C-alpha cells in the first residue's frame, strides 16, 4: 500500500505535468496561428502582385521557382552590364536615335559592390568614322544584328571588357519608371540653371500652342526628392553656363540618377509594396530592352537582397593630374569635322588597362 506521502508526491507530479502540457499546447497554437497568418499575408501579397504585374499564379510560381533554382549560378560572381539611355526623338524639331547615356558597370554579387564607368558619348570610333553614341543607330540599320547587340560588341571591343548583359531605356519613359517607385532621392552636387531647356509641351503640341520653345530649369545643391519629370530634366539639361553644361557633368548626373533608382528599388518600402513591384515588373517587361531574362533579374535581386549595395563611379581621366595622365584628348575640330574625344594611346591599350583595373 502506498503511504500518504507517496500519494501526495503523485498528485504533485500530475499537477506539474498539466501546466507543461498547457504551455506546449499554447505554443503550438501560437505557431500554427503564426504560420496561417503568414500564409494569408503571403497569399494577399502574391494576389496583389499578380494583378499589378499581369502574371497569373502559374506564371508567377514558375518565375519564383526558376529564380530560386538559378541562385547558385549567380552566387560569388562578377557580372558586367552595359546601360544605355536612348535619346529617341521623332518630331518636327528633331529626329534622333542616339544613346545619350552609356555606362559600363560591374556587379560583385558576393559583396554587393556596383561600379560604374560612364563612357563619353563623344568618344570617336575611327573604324566606323562615328562617335560612340551613334552605335545604336548603326546597329539598328544593319542586317543580322540589333542596336543593343552591336553597341555592346563595339564597347566590349574598345574597352577589352566582356559584357554579360545590356539594358536599354528610352529617356522619354524614364519618368514613368521613377514615378512607379514614388520618386527618388538625388544629391545635386552643384547648383545650376539651364535657360535653354526644350519645352516638352511645345514639342508635343507644336508651335501653334503659343508655348515658348525653351523653358528655364534650375537645381540647387543638396539632397532632394525628384519626381520622374524632374529627374528627366536633371539628366537631360545641357545648356547651363556653368561646368554643369558639359557632357561630362551630364554624364555624372545620369550616373547619380541610376544609382538613386537602384537604391530606391532595394528599399524596404518598395519591396513590401506588391503594387509598386508589380508596376516595376510591368515596366521591365514592356519598356526595357535587355538580354537579361525575368528570372535572371529576379535571381540577382535575391542573391543581393541581404547585402548592402555600395556604389562607386569612376570617370575616365580627361585632365592630367600628378598621378594620372589624361587618357582622353580632344583633337582640333577640323580633324574629324566635329568635336570628339579620342584616346591618347591610339592602340586603346592604355584606356583598356584603366577600365579593367577600375571596373
The whole-chain average pLDDT of the chain stands at 83
Which range is least confidently modeled, 121-125, 184-188, 196-200, 265-269?
A: 196-200
**pTM for the predicted model, two decimal places:** 0.83
pLDDT of residue 261 exceeding 80, the answer is yes
Which range is least confidently modeled, 203-207, 211-215, 299-303?
A: 203-207
Between CA 155 and CA 163 the distance in angstroms is 8
Q: What pLDDT, on the 0 to 100 scale, is given for residue 212?
A: 76
Query: Mean pLDDT over residues 194-216, rounded?
Result: 73
Which range is least confidently modeled, 55-59, 185-189, 314-318, 353-357?
A: 55-59
pLDDT tier for residue 266 given thresholds of 50, 70 and 90: confident
Identify the H or E element spanning 120: none
Cell of 334: 577640323
Do the Cβ atoms of 145 and 154 come closer than 8 Å? no
Between CA 165 and CA 167 the distance in angstroms is 7
Residues of the chain with pLDDT > 70: what percent?
81
Q: What is the pLDDT of residues 161-174, one digit of tens each?
A: 999 999 999 888 89
Do the Cβ atoms of 108 and 194 come closer than 8 Å? no
Residue with cell 548592402: 308
* Contacts of residue 275, Cβ cutoff 8 Å, sequence gap at least 6: 48, 49, 52
pLDDT tier for residue 148 given thresholds of 50, 70 and 90: very high
Cell of 158: 574598345
Between CA 262 and CA 83 the distance in angstroms is 13
Q: What is the pLDDT of residues 288-325, one digit of tens each?
A: 999 999 888 888 888 887 777 788 999 999 888 888 88
SS3 content of the chain, % helix, strand, coil (to 5): 50, 20, 25
Q: What is the pLDDT of residues 2-43, one digit of tens each?
A: 555 555 555 555 555 556 666 666 566 666 665 555 555 556
pLDDT tier for residue 179 given thresholds of 50, 70 and 90: very high
Cell of 311: 556604389
CA distances from 186 to 181, 190, 219, 220, 247 (A): 14, 12, 11, 11, 19
SS3 assignment, position 293: coil
Do the Cβ atoms of 104 and 359 come closer than 8 Å? yes
Amino acid at each position: 500500500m502506498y503511504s500518504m506521502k507517496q500519494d501526495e508526491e503523485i498528485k504533485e507530479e500530475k499537477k506539474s505535468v498539466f501546466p507543461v502540457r498547457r504551455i506546449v499546447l499554447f505554443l503550438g497554437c501560437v505557431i500554427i496561428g503564426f504560420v496561417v497568418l503568414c500564409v494569408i499575408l503571403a497569399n494577399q501579397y502574391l494576389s496583389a502582385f499578380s494583378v499589378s504585374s499581369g502574371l497569373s499564379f502559374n506564371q508567377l510560381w514558375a518565375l519564383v521557382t526558376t529564380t530560386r533554382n538559378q541562385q547558385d549560378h549567380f552566387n560569388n560572381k562578377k557580372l558586367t552590364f552595359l546601360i544605355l539611355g536612348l535619346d529617341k526623338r521623332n518630331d518636327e524639331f528633331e529626329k534622333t536615335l542616339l544613346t545619350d547615356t552609356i555606362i559600363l558597370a560591374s556587379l560583385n554579387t558576393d559583396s554587393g559592390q556596383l561600379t560604374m564607368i560612364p563612357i563619353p558619348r563623344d568618344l570617336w570610333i575611327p573604324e566606323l568614322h562615328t562617335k560612340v553614341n551613334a552605335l545604336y543607330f548603326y546597329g539598328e540599320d544593319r542586317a543580322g544584328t540589333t542596336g543593343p547587340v552591336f553597341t555592346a560588341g563595339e564597347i566590349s571591343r574598345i574597352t577589352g571588357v566582356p559584357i554579360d548583359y545590356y539594358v536599354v531605356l528610352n529617356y522619354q519613359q524614364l519618368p514613368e519608371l521613377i514615378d512607379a517607385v514614388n520618386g527618388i532621392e538625388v544629391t545635386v552636387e552643384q547648383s545650376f540653371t539651364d535657360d535653354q531647356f526644350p519645352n516638352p509641351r511645345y514639342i508635343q503640341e507644336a508651335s501653334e500652342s503659343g508655348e515658348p520653345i525653351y523653358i528655364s530649369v534650375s537645381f540647387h545643391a543638396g539632397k532632394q526628392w525628384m519626381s520622374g519629370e524632374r529627374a528627366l530634366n536633371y539628366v537631360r539639361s545641357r545648356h547651363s553656363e556653368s561646368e554643369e553644361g558639359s557632357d561630362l557633368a551630364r554624364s555624372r548626373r545620369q550616373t547619380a540618377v541610376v544609382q538613386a533608382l537602384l537604391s530606391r528599388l532595394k528599399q524596404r518600402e518598395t519591396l513590401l509594396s506588391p503594387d509598386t513591384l508589380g508596376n516595376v515588373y510591368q515596366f521591365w517587361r514592356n519598356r526595357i530592352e535587355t538580354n537579361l531574362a525575368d528570372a535572371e533579374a529576379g535571381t540577382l535581386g535575391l542573391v543581393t537582397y541581404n547585402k548592402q549595395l555600395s556604389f562607386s563611379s569612376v570617370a575616365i581621366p580627361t585632365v592630367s593630374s600628378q598621378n594620372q595622365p589624361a587618357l582622353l584628348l580632344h583633337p582640333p575640330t577640323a580633324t574629324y569635322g566635329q568635336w570628339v574625344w579620342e584616346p591618347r594611346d591610339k592602340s586603346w591599350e592604355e584606356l583598356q588597362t584603366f577600365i579593367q583595373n577600375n571596373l
